[in-house]
């Protein structure tokens, strides 16, 4: 992509040195500063932005490789501001860039936004998805006129404005002015005789077509990342079509959870494995089997996290660099009475000694037993307690308690 817009704005070549860029910026910034040249406020914004990018080697590199689009998308990885901060400025910027250079400024159609669900495998391996969508295209039969030549006439009711202005008296010397859509022409500002309407589009000027877009899902792309298809939005006469913007939505994965470039998974191991070592296999997103081996001796505790370097997600635009894969362990303890009393005694000789225990003496010692914990029962008691409290606060009669 040979985008040189930012270089053109500063009037330098693509190979300009840092000092050339700086000199040119200072000269232009002086000339177009809003204080000196209030009419050129937008121009100053463009110049500042161009300099901001080209004076930063990292940003300049991204721009040289991927153009303005790259800078926008870099938000996720390159330390640039995210899309939503930049969104308005960019659309302003594109609008301005389009209006200069002799091209007549046309209204721009709306962007069409499509969510696209992708799996974690898709963004790990990269994939091309075909997406079918319907869009309006200018009717080829009438070339977007809507009927035969001369058939289209300016709407009489709104004088071709598409809107009607009405006034409403809201005070002694005050009227309020408001606009309404012209109902005669549906806001189009023009009407076509029924019999003169284009037979293909019935005067609508556009036809609906199915279009297949090839969406390249690159390795490492993120949730909500946008993929732009410039000018692929709905066509309308005298309007520059907007973009089709594909917004990625990541499906959740059965095994892995993604956080940034890292992957996290949970793994249950038995107490025996936790104490005596283990090996198991992880089926990775590209189909590889990762053999995880852990030697006896280093005890794994409940909630322990261990990492495997470079087995996370590939970085966007830099897919040979990968994040890490982390495994969070939980320990499955054996069932009750898994061994005989004799075996337990033997087991105890292998385990670290118990902490010292001193038996209390006297009359105040009472032996108690542990019961099973029941979450529902406990919660019911808590709710009963809370509603008792409310009763006291309202202190009114007739507030009955469900538990009585
Ligand atoms: Zn037509
Ligand atoms: Zn009208």
Residue 75 is predicted with a pLDDT of 43
Of 80, 137, 93, nearest to 112 (Cα)? 137
Measured from the alpha carbon of residue 144, the closest ligand is 1
CA of 206 to the centre of ligand 1 (A): 6
Cα of 195 vs centre of ligand 1, distance in Å, is 13
149 Cα to the center of ligand 2, angstroms: 20
What percent of the chain stands above pLDDT 70?
86
327/262 Cα distance (integer angstroms): 11
- DSSP for 205-274, written as a single string: SEEEEEEEEEEEE-TT--TT-EEEETT-S--BTTEE---EEEEEEEPP-SSEEEETTEEEEEEEEEHHHH
CA of 180 to the centre of ligand 2 (A): 10
CA–centroid distance, residue 183 to ligand 1 (Å) = 22
Query: How far is the centre of ligand 1, averaged over its atoms, from the C-alpha of 209 (Å)?
Result: 13
Residue from 83, 10, 88, 85 nearest 46 by CA? 10
CA 205 – CA 190 distance, rounded (Å): 12
pLDDT value at residue 336: 92
* pLDDT of amino acid 98: 36
Q: In order of start, what are the domains of the chain with their CATH numbers?
A: 5-103 (1.10.287.110), 256-332 (2.60.260.20)
Residues in the chain: 404
Centroid of ligand 1 to alpha carbon of 137 (angstroms): 10
Q: In the prediction, which pLDDT does 95 show?
A: 40
Distance 106 CA to ligand 1 centre (A): 21
* CA 134 / ligand 1 centre spacing (Å): 18
CA of 141 to the centre of ligand 1 (A): 5
State pLDDT tens for residues 365-375. Answer: 999 999 999 99
190-245 residue pLDDT tens: 888 888 999 999 988 999 999 999 999 999 999 999 999 999 999 998 889 999 99
What integer pLDDT is reported at residue 88 of this predicted model? 41
pLDDT value of position 397: 53
Q: Which ligand is nearest to the CA of 182?
A: 2
In the 8-state DSSP scheme, what is residue 119? -
Q: How far is the CA of 179 from the centre of ligand 2 (A)?
A: 12
Ligand 2 centre to CA of 63 (Å) is 46
CA dist 47 and 166 (Å) reads 44
Closest ligand to C-alpha of residue 161 is: 2
Report the pLDDT value the prediction gives residue 179, as an integer from 0 to 100.
83
Interval between CA 191 and ligand 2 midpoint (Å): 8
What is the model's pLDDT at position 41? 61
Report the sign of the C-alpha dihedral through residues 375, 377, 378, 383, in that order.
positive
Which residue stretches of 255-365 are H helix? 271-276, 341-350
Sign of the torsion formed by the C-alpha atoms of 115, 116, 120 and 125: negative
Low-confidence ranges of the chain (pLDDT < 70): 1-2, 39-41, 72-105, 389-404
State the ligand closest to the CA atom of 136: 1
Q: How far is the CA of 148 from the centre of ligand 1 (A)?
A: 9
Q: Distance from the CA of 181 to the center of ligand 1, in angstroms?
A: 24
């Amino acid at each position: 992509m040979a985008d040189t817009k930012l270089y053109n704005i500063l009037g330098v070549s693509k190979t300009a040195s840092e000092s050339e860029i700086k000199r040119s910026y200072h000269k232009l910034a002086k000339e177009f500063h809003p204080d000196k040249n209030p009419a050129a406020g937008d121009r100053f914004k463009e110049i500042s932005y161009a300099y901001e990018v080209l004076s930063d080697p990292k940003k300049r590199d991204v721009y040289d490789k991927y153009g303005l689009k790259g800078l926008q998308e870099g938000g996720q990885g390159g330390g640039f501001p995210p899309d939503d901060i930049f969104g308005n400025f960019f659309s302003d910027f594109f609008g301005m860039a389009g209006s200069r250079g002799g091209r007549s400024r046309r209204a721009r159609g709306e962007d069409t936004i499509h969510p696209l669900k992708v799996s974690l495998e898709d963004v790990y391996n990269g994939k091309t998805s075909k997406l079918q969508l319907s869009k309006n295209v200018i009717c080829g039969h009438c070339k977007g006129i809507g009927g035969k030549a001369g058939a289209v006439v300016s709407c009489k009711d709104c004088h071709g404005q598409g809107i009607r202005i009405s006034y409403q008296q809201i005070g002694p010397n005050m009227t309020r002015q408001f606009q309404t859509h012209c109902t005669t022409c549906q806001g189009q500002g023009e009407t076509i005789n029924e019999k003169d309407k284009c037979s293909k589009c019935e005067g609508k000027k556009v036809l609906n077509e199915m279009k297949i877009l090839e969406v390249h899902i690159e390795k490492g792309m993120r949730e909500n990342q946008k993929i732009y298809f410039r000018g692929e939005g709905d066509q309308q006469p005298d309007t520059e079509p907007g973009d089709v913007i594909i917004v990625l939505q990541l499906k959740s994965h059965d095994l892995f959870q993604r956080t940034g470039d890292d992957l996290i998974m949970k793994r249950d191991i038995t107490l025996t494995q936790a104490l005596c070592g283990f090996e198991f296999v992880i089926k990775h997103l590209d189909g590889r089997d990762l053999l995880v081996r852990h030697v006896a001796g280093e005890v794994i505790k409940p909630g322990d996290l261990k990492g495997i370097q470079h087995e996370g997600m590939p970085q966007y635009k830099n897919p040979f660099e990968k994040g890490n894969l982390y495994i969070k362990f939980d320990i499955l303890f054996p069932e009750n009475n898994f061994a005989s009393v004799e075996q337990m005694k033997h087991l105890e000789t292998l385990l670290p000694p118990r902490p010292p225990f001193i038996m209390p003496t006297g009359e105040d010692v009472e032996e108690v037993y542990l019961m099973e914990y029941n979450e529902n029962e406990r919660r019911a008691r808590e709710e009963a307690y809370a509603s008792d409290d409310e009763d006291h606060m309202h202190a009114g009669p007739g507030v009955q308690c469900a538990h009585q």
